[in-house]
Amino acid sequence: MNYLCPSILAADFWELGRQVETVEKAGAPYLHIDIMDGMFVPSISFGMPVLQCVRKRSKLFMDVHMMVAEPERYIEELIRLGADGITIHVEACDRIPETLGRIRELGVKTGLAINPETPVSAVLPYMELVDMVLVMTVHPGFGGQEYIIDCIDKIKEVRRLIDQSYFGVKLEIDGGVTLGNLEMNLAAGANVIVTGSAVFKGDIEANVREFLKRM
Ligand code: DX5
Ligand code: ZN
């Protein structure tokens, strides 16, 4: 099973409510919430009030991507506001097992992300604690960047690891995903597909339907 996960970072915030309704009605199962702190990544996006607001009106699975230093500081608050899954970066957290353990203890799905330059071996010690591995296919911090083709080998490597020893763990990719490279990414083994610009630019409903048709 593959899951489309539109990233609201690419939404028009004037129209946020309507645009989330549109992706939901068109059948996307997940919504990707990119939280950036201006420290772990250069940019600042949005945070708790946006999650809270979207959560209240939407039944979509809220997939929170924490591009934040020391993400352990925010776990309880994110869960209180309605996160369904929380992904932290292996590069941003000194207390990974404790943080993933805490997320699970509170009944929420765990994710661990690696940047393009981080090897797959960095997630190995934590595989028992994760429900999802996120392989970044751009340098995190901005939407609308070009897919980094070298990441495809890492996607395949994580897929092999999951199939051999961690059956059921999801494999998410994030950054530069388009209808043009979707098939290649699915074939490599990704099954949670984040996409910002390719869904929110242009006809959102038609974009979501086209992605879903090809998944
Ligand atoms: C990048 C974010 C992504 C971004 C994807 O730092 O984590 O989720 O919104 O946007 P596109 O699909 O436009 O690359
Ligand atoms: Zn993201």
Q: Rounded to 5 degrees, what angle do the CA atoms 39, 14, 77 make?
A: 45
Mutation test residue for ligand 1: of 4, 5, 7, 136, the one with most atoms within 8 Å of CB: 7
* CA 105 to ligand 2 centroid distance, Å: 24
Which pLDDT belongs to residue 35? 98
Q: Residue 100, by phi and psi: left (phi above 0), alpha (psi -120 to 50) or beta? A: alpha
174 has catalytic annotation: yes
Full pLDDT tens readout for the chain, 215 residues:
999 999 999 999 999 999 999 999 999 999 999 999 999 999 999 999 999 999 999 999 999 999 999 999 999 999 999 999 999 999 999 999 999 999 999 999 999 999 999 999 999 999 999 999 999 999 999 999 999 999 999 999 999 999 999 999 999 999 999 999 999 999 999 999 999 999 999 999 999 999 999 99
Q: For the sheet with 170-174, list strands across it.
A: 3-6, 192-195, 170-174, 132-136, 109-114, 85-89, 61-67, 30-36
